[in-house]
Structure 1
Amino acid sequence: MDWSLSKLIRIEKGTVGISTTDLRSLLAHYGVHDSESVNALIRLAKSSRERPWWATYREHLPTTDFEKLLGLEAEASSIETFQSTLIPGLLQTQAYMRYVLGGIVNDVAGPESVEVREEVRLRRQRSLFESDGAPVFRVVLDEATLRRVAQSPAVMREQLLHLADLNTRSNIVIEVIPFTAGPYVDSGTFQLLSFPGADPPVVYLENAWYDELIDKKDQVQKYEQLLANLRRRALDKGQSEALIRKIADEFR
């Protein structure tokens, strides 16, 4: 190919794209001649060079792993998450979202950063749930999350009714671990993303100090097992919706 070693390394690491000309040459070198496979890879190469919607907000994104998460969400066939203190960002109403983002953005960031992050979160919601081929979204919540007041009872009631309505959708499953389930062990907020085909699942961890993407099979399996254990303690979809609406009524 008459390439430098650094160019090959950047392509293999995914830090740069690859031109369709270079791709065709590589496929010929690798002995890939099936036209269907070649055309599919060429289409991928072309689409990978397009700017994603979040490129406009790149300077306001908290970390590079979060930016990678946005790309993974766009490709995922299912997204599963556990939250013990907050409603997941993808299910938040705008009022709840504004309160949360305003409270967690550090003192260095100004109101502009809060507004941009809110806009990014709304774009994530639209791109995931209002587009064709939307992924299955399954979330496990602790009952305390539903009762923890964000800003006001009115904001919480709106948020809970929004959750209950979302739980009627075929591709969204919200399951609540009630207080009556007793104590349990968890590892904090995380997302498990699965993909179509042979691509292995990954886990996204998020806490107050850092976020991290995990793709090692043995570590991912631990989170899969943890999620399964949490679900065993949770109410099913219908029972969870009923509990959410009951708590929403308490905020009248």
Structure 2
Amino acid sequence: MIDFFRVLARHKLIAFGVFLFVVALAIGYLSVKEPVYTVSSRLVPPDISDIKELLLAEPVLWGMKTEDGKLVGYTTGKSLLNKYGLESITPTSVFESYVKNCNSEEARSRFSGSNNPRSFKISSVNNIPAIVISLSHRDPEYAATKVNEFVKYIERYTAQKITDDIEQVIEIEVKKLSRDMDAQLSSETIDQVNINSKDILLDVELLQKRINYLNSLSVDLSNTSVVNVDSPAKPTSVPDKPNKTLILSLSIALGVLLGILSAFIKEFMSKYKKQT
């Protein structure tokens, strides 16, 4: 250890000069490097009341007949969506659709332009159904605005996608019921099946009521929200990059190591010259 400190003492100017050079480089880099700010928004699933408009297409109303054949009312039957192989609409399912669309290249391109999709980062939150959408940019005001706009855009995009699926299912079901009603009213059916004409009329009435019900369904997207914004994006005054504390700490450590190394290299070169 005594020899170690003697070497450093003999070549302290070189060691100190290298140390100052490395630290100066780090300070110079920090002075010219533009700061980058990261802002984020935290999102959670919607409440059931937020998606009530989307639930209008869930039940299928089936008719009930009394023993004398009269039509007296309706009861909830199988879900239309399940009937056609689609997922039931719940707060969890629409939130999962929202997250999927957040990661969709199509949705991102439509929001930002096909040639310049913005780098929104989507990350999950441990142990709870929530996500964080973040964006890094040199202007924190701009980043916050874009994150909030992206959150709103994907919400409208997801709600419209779900509504389109609902409308498609309703259209398919109405066409099917219309065909069934036409078949009931056809003379061939009445001739082939020996049943009372009153029962035919009751069945037709039921089919028509179901068709009218389905045609009356509509989704008001202005009252629909497929996600809750737990905390909107806000500008920050603390830059995410560059990390000044980390860079300065590393530069000091590196400067010390390189300074010591340069002192020993100088000592080695001096001894080598003396020997030769």
TM over 0.5, yes or no?
no
TM range (shorter): under 0.3
Question: Which structure is larger by alpha-carbon Rg, 1 or 2?
Answer: 2
Greater relative CO, 1 or 2 (CA 8 Å, sep 6+):
2
Question: TM-score with structure 2 length normalisation?
Answer: 0.18
Q: Which has the higher helix share?
A: 2
